[in-house]
Amino acid sequence: MENLDDDVIFHYADEDGIASIVNSGAIRADSKGRAYVTQEMVSSGDALNVLFAGNPRYAHKGGFMIAVRRPQGTSLRRGEQPNELIHRGSLKFDIPDVLYAGPNPFG
């Protein structure tokens, strides 16, 4: 996954979460209407602290990830963390835009 352009975004989750995302064609918004993505390539061991601010609730969420080419016209804003990008609502994509979905390839 080297030499990716700026339109590639990542979402880290557990195995069931990634399967659900692929099957639905969307990264679903949370209860506050936000879908979180990043452009950071983060190992599963670092995901808790780098992506989830050490919140133990997300301790198992870095082992799998999906890389998607950002759908044209999708707006993303910076979040509170410097590596955090937020889409308002569920982030929908077409299956051909999925570059990778599976175990975290970054370690």
For every residue of the chain, DSSP letters joined together read: --S--TTEEEEEE-HHHHHHHHHHTEE---TTSEEEEBS----HHHHHHHHHTT-GGGTTTTSEEEEEEPPTT---EE-SSTT-EEEES-EE--GGGEEEEEE-TT-
Domain architecture of the chain: domains with CATH: 8-103 (3.20.170.20)
The tens-digit pLDDT sequence of the chain (107 residues) is: 455 678 999 999 999 999 999 999 999 999 999 999 999 999 999 999 999 999 999 888 999 999 999 999 999 999 998 899 999 999 999 999 999 999 999 98
